[in-house]
Structure 1
Amino acid sequence: MPVKVTKLEGKPLGAVITLPEGCTDPSELSPEDFDTVYKALHEHLVIVIPGMEDLPPKSQWKLTTMFDPTCDQSGKSYGHGKEFRHDKSVLRRDGTSIPDQPQVQVLGQGEWPAGHYGLGDISLRHPTHFDFHKKPLTQEQAFEQDMTRFYRWHIDSALYGLSPPVATTLLGIHVPPHSRKQKVVYEDNGDVLELTQGATAFVSGAKAFEMLSPEDQERALKTTVVYAPHPYIFISSARATPDGLTMVSEGKETPFDELPPWEESKIKKLPLVWTNPITKKHHLQVHGCCIHKLELPDGTVLELDDARKEVYRMMRPAIAPENVYAHDWNKGDLAIFFNRGVWHSVTGQFSEGERRLMHQCNIASGQDPQTLTA
């Protein structure tokens, strides 16, 4: 039996992958079966393989590299580079690395005893909007009324020196039961999205592009996003909007001369729109929190505050509840998402004593994404 792809019914995107009988390691699929999975990823944007809780980190790393022949196959390259653990980076507390497979990050919540793939005692902390948003929810709203926020809508990428990964793999090893629900209440219009505690939210960059006016589409296709050097350190003292789409401009960004040493040649200047190589659809792909400037096709340059306002205007319609796929985690779910076609966000918060353990892997690509207009 070949690989089976089943579209998620009633969801704006996503599919479930059923492996051939007897196959327990998707990194060992035949070329024909992997081609089916590769196409499914680009067409459905998020694919989930159930029952993978025992997948070794080495297999997860190998599978991740298979989606991008241009990425470093030697195992020396990571998705975020060395600054992932910089003491001033907003990513610094988001996990730890597996010693024998450092490309695979261990994420989650709670205290875990020594012995997990060579790690000692580890303390994991689920990222929450309390540390990142300008105006977070109150403790009563979060823990008594079960309200939550999109933490940060983003693309997995260093956005400095390294090209954005093609795919991210995220494996749920220990997940809380589905009994606890939380709800995102949209600050600007009162919409509500109910989801399972700790769900990962995804939206399609293609849908975001389709929702633009024809005039905005034409301009977006020729617009360049300029990211700040060491962007996660640049924004470390700034705070985000209530929907996690971008940052509030208050002049709190780290001045360039106070950042770690940086090179002009490593600053990422990427198209605002990336073309899906399989479907040929255009995807609006921008990390709104890390943006520094927008270079418009008429030569106009929008500086930090105006650039944030402009990408916010384009991004906000796409995160309406009907456009969001919130993945409810089951033990053993291996979610693979097309990092060049979706934005995603952590959601939720955990109470003291609640635990979660996950493995994440993405590898910097060997080339930047492109916009194809022919």
Structure 2
Amino acid sequence: MLHTRPLSDVIGLEIRDLDLSKPVDDATFAAIEDALNRHSLLLFRGQTLTNHQHVEFSRRFGSLMTHVLKQYLTTDLPEIYVLSNVVEAGKPKGNHKEGWNWHSDLSYVENPSLGSVLYAVEVPPVGADTLFASMHAAWDALPTETKARIRHLKAVHSYAGYYDKYFPDRPPLTAEQKAATPDVVHPVVRTHPVTGRLSLYVGQDIVKEIQGLPAEEGAALLAELNAHAIDDAFSYRHVWRQGDLIVWDNRCTMHKATPYDDAAYRRVMHRTTVAGDRPF
């Protein structure tokens, strides 16, 4: 039996007294997977994981994806995407100022991520919290008429558009990176493949437009849905400690990184990304 405590009323569960550096038996992992499907986010505090242990645990959820920005795959394992402000020998150790908008990881690919597994290697003493929002709760709270309006709409997710907006000071995406991330179309409301629950599937900036709507109307609707989705009533703020590991379900959550004093403090986070299925 798992020892747990809820993190908020709508999203998140802390799983206590489990050392992920040791083998996790099948029954325990089945309980972890069930908890993820029901609570959308799991927290494991006080972990001391090697890169291999991080990857091995992540693989229990499914095959792992490799990020298109290969310059930030700086560990000994390409499955680990590094988020960091640290520069070593003149080269960034990881991607800095990534994810400072509300999004679902890799929503911009044909088969987006099932989930992400983020491990806190080094964290600032203040700042750099991560906000998470339940898209199940956001959908449930929508007015009936809004649900009917958006139930079968589809939206265009664009990594190139997001990258150009957020990183104008960086080299542009290469032809190879653009070819690997063409614009894709996903439903605005998606069905969880395990639980059958509905959730919003939107995002700030990564979602370029809603198909079939005039540009101005579509932009207004996206702004309305995004503002609704990130309401405090559906959200949880995580204050990181070194050794925290969080697993979240990208099929029914959004998240956002927050700023910190990057001139005074170091931050090193290791993320693995679990492959998923095409949204429906």
Counterpart contact for 2:129–2:239, Cα < 8 Å: yes
Q: SS at 2:209's partner residue?
A: strand
Equivalent residue letter for 1:97: L
Counterpart contact for 2:85–2:92, Cα < 8 Å: no
Question: Cα deviation per residue 1:320-367 (whole Å; 9 max; x = unaligned)?
Answer: 2343211000110001111111000011221423111111110333x2
Give, in whole Å, the separation in 2 of the partners of 1:288 and 1:124.
22
Counterpart contact for 1:61–1:104, Cα < 8 Å: yes
Give, in whole Å, the separation in 2 of the partners of 1:329 and 1:343.
17
In the TM superposition, residue 111 of structure 1 has moved relative to its aligned partner by: 4.2
Counterpart contact for 1:292–1:304, Cα < 8 Å: no
Equivalent of residue 121 in structure 2, options 173, 176, 188? 173
CA root-mean-square deviation: 3.1
C-alpha change, 1:284 and 1:66, in structure 2 (3 Å) is same
Matched residue, 1:324: 235
Give, in whole Å, the separation in 1 of the partners of 2:202 and 2:241.
29
Q: SS at 1:106's partner residue?
A: strand
- State the percentage of identical aligned residues: 22
Give, in whole Å, the separation in 2 of the partners of 1:58 and 1:123.
18
Matched residue, 1:226: 156
Counterpart contact for 2:42–2:248, Cα < 8 Å: yes
Matched residue, 2:136: 206
Matches within 5 A, 1:224-263: 224-227=154-157, 231-238=158-165, 260=175
Counterpart contact for 2:12–2:39, Cα < 8 Å: yes
Question: Cα deviation per residue 1:220-273 (whole Å; 9 max; x = unaligned)?
Answer: 22111223xxx2323444479xxxxxxxxxxx9xxxxx994777x964221111
Matched residue, 2:15: 17
Structure 2 gaps, min length 5: none
Equivalent residue letter for 2:77: Q
Counterpart contact for 1:153–1:287, Cα < 8 Å: yes
Equivalent residue letter for 1:107: L
List 4+ stretches of structure 1 deviating above 3 A. Answer: 110-113, 120-126, 235-240, 258-263, 303-306
Query: Radius of gyration: which is bigger?
Result: 1
Counterpart contact for 1:39–1:278, Cα < 8 Å: no
Matched residue, 1:127: 97
Equivalent of residue 41 in structure 1, options 36, 45, 48? 36
Give, in whole Å, the separation in 1 of the partners of 2:134 and 2:95.
27
Matched residue, 1:245: none
Q: SS at 1:38's partner residue?
A: helix
Equivalent residue letter for 2:187: P
Matches within 5 A, 1:248-287: 260=175, 267-287=183-203
C-alpha change, 1:65 and 1:151, in structure 2 (3 Å) is same
TM-score by length of 1: 0.65
Matched residue, 2:147: 217
Question: Cα deviation per residue 1:55-88 (whole Å; 9 max; x = unaligned)?
Answer: 12222223223223xx46xxxx42x4x3x35xxx
Matched residue, 1:289: 205
In the TM superposition, residue 306 of structure 1 has moved relative to its aligned partner by: 3.4
Matched residue, 2:265: 354
Counterpart contact for 1:291–1:304, Cα < 8 Å: no
Structure 1 gaps, min length 5: 86-91, 114-119, 129-149, 181-196, 241-251, 253-257, 296-300
Matches within 5 A, 1:74-89: 77-78=65-66, 80=67, 82=68, 84=69
Give, in whole Å, the separation in 2 of the partners of 1:106 and 1:66.
20
Give, in whole Å, the separation in 2 of the partners of 1:347 and 1:11.
22
C-alpha change, 1:330 and 1:259, in structure 2 (3 Å) is closer
TM-score by length of 2: 0.84
Equivalent of residue 45 in structure 2, options 44, 50, 56? 50
Give, in whole Å, the separation in 2 of the partners of 1:266 and 1:235.
12
